C-alpha cells in the first residue's frame, strides 16, 4: 500500500487497469466477490438512471446522481463490517444500498419524505448529510465514543472533494489525529464541487497529501478500480480498528452526471475530458472486461441481469410511491418537547386552512 509520507507526492494505487488487465495481484477474496460487486454496480447504475427519469417526470424532487462513482462507493463499503458506523453524504446511495438500505427508502430521500431520515435500526448508518462536510465531525465523535467505550468498531465518513474546503474537514482530521481515533475519512474526488474544479479549490495537487499536516496516513487510490478501492479501504479499516489511528483516503473518480438535477454540467465541463472518462475509465466497463477475461460474465448474463434489475427497480418505485405522505401539520410536532403557543397557533391555522381547501 502506497502510504503518503513527506516529502513527495502520493502515487495512485491501482490494481485493475482500464483495459481489464491486472497491474498487480488482486487482494484476497476479490475472486469470490467480483461478480457480486459487478452485479450490484449494474443495479446501482440503473437505479441512478431510473431516479433521474423519475425526477424529470416530476415524481421525485432534487436528486444527486452518482454514476461513475460506483466502484469508489461499493469497494469502500465492502471493506466495512455491518456494525461499523457509516456517515455518508447525499451522494452515497450506491454504497448505502450495498450496505443494506432498501432502494425504496433511498428513493424517499429525494422525495422529501420524513421517513427517509430514519435509518433502519439494523444499520449503523446515518442519513445522507446535506450540509457539506458536517458528517466528518459526526464520524469523529462516533469514533471517539467507540474508543472511550472500548468497542471494536470504526467510523467512516464519506465526502466529496468540495468538503475539503470546509473548516469541518480540518477540524475533524485534527481532532481525530490528536486523540488517535478509529476513523477513516474517505474522499471521493470526482473533480468538481458543483461547477468549481478541484484545481480552483486547492493549490496542493492531491487531497491525500493533506494527511501529512495531521500526522496521519494518507492513501491516493484509483477510484474507478474497485479492486484497489477495496484494498485501500481494507487496509485503512484494519489500521484504524487496531489502534493505528485515522486514515485519509482520496479516491480519484469522476461524476458522469450533473451535480444535482438542477445543474447543467455542459456549462463548465470540457466535453473531450468528459468523453474520455465516460468511454475509457467507466468503472463498470473496467470490471466487466476483467470478468469476461476470467470467463465469469457474458452478454447473456448481462441481458438477464439487466432485465431482473429493471423489474426490481419498478417494484421499488411502486413501493416508494405508495408510501403515504405525512400530514403537513406534523412538521410542528418534533421541534420542541413542549410546543410553544406560537407554534400551536401556526399548526392550528394550517389545519384550519387545509380543512377549507
DSSP string for 328-352: GGGGGTTS-SS--HHHHHHHHHHHH
Instruction: Measure the CA–CA gap between 185 and 172, rounded to whole angstroms.
Output: 9
* Assigned C-alpha cell, 135: 458528517
Question: Residue 37: which of 75, 91, 65 has the closest Cα?
Answer: 75
Question: Residue 99: which of 113, 71, 72, 79 has the closest Cα?
Answer: 79
Beta bridge partners of residue 85, listed in sequence order: 155
- CB count within 10 Å of CB 142 equals 25
Question: Residue 246: which of 142, 154, 325 has the closest Cα?
Answer: 154
**Which residues have a Cβ under 8 Å from the Cβ of 232 and sit 6 or more positions away?**
1, 13, 219, 221, 249, 251
Give catalytic residue positions: 255, 259, 268
Place of cell 484497489: 228
Question: Residue 257: which of 37, 69, 112, 122 has the closest Cα?
Answer: 69
Amino acid at each position: 500500500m502506497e502510504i503518503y509520507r513527506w516529502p513527495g507526492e502520493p502515487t495512485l494505487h491501482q490494481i485493475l487497469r482500464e483495459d481489464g488487465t491486472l497491474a498487480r495481484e488482486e487482494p484476497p477474496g476479490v475472486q469470490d466477490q467480483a461478480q457480486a460487486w459487478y452485479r450490484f454496480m449494474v443495479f446501482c447504475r440503473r437505479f441512478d438512471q431510473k431516479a433521474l427519469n423519475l425526477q424529470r417526470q416530476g415524481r421525485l424532487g432534487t436528486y444527486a446522481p452518482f454514476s461513475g462513482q460506483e466502484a469508489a462507493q461499493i469497494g469502500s463499503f465492502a471493506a466495512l463490517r455491518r456494525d461499523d458506523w457509516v456517515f455518508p453524504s447525499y451522494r452515497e446511495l450506491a454504497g448505502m444500498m450495498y450496505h443494506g438500505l432498501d432502494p425504496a427508502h433511498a428513493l424517499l430521500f429525494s422525495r422529501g419524505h420524513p421517513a427517509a431520515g430514519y435509518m433502519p435500526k439494523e444499520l449503523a448508518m446515518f442519513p445522507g448529510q446535506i450540509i457539506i462536510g458536517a458528517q466528518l465531525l459526526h464520524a469523529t465523535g462516533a469514533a471517539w465514543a467507540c474508543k472511550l467505550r472500548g468497542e471494536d468498531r470504526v467510523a467512516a465518513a464519506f465526502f466529496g472533494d468540495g468538503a475539503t474546503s470546509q473548516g469541518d474537514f480540518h477540524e475533524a482530521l485534527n481532532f481525530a489525529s490528536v486523540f488517535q481515533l478509529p476513523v477513516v475519512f474517505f474522499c471521493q474526488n470526482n473533480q468538481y464541487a458543483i461547477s468549481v474544479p478541484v484545481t480552483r479549490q486547492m493549490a496542493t495537487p492531491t487531497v491525500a497529501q493533506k494527511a501529512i499536516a495531521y500526522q496521519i496516513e494518507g492513501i491516493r487510490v484509483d477510484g474507478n478500480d474497485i479492486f484497489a478501492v477495496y484494498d485501500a479501504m481494507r487496509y485503512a479499516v484494519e489500521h484504524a480498528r487496531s489502534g493505528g489511528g485515522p486514515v485519509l483516503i482520496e479516491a480519484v473518480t469522476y461524476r458522469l452526471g450533473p451535480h444535482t438535477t438542477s445543474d447543467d454540467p455542459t456549462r463548465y465541463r470540457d466535453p473531450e475530458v468528459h468523453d474520455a472518462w465516460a468511454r475509457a475509465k467507466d468503472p463498470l466497463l473496467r470490471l466487466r472486461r476483467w470478468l469476461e477475461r476470467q470467463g465469469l460474465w457474458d452478454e447473456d448474463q448481462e441481458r438477464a441481469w439487466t432485465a431482473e434489475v429493471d423489474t426490481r427497480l419498478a417494484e421499488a418505485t411502486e413501493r416508494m410511491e405508495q408510501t403515504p405522505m405525512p400530514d403537513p401539520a406534523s412538521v410542528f410536532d418534533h421541534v420542541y418537547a413542549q410546543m410553544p403557543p406560537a407554534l400551536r397557533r401556526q399548526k392550528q391555522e394550517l389545519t384550519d386552512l387545509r380543512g377549507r381547501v
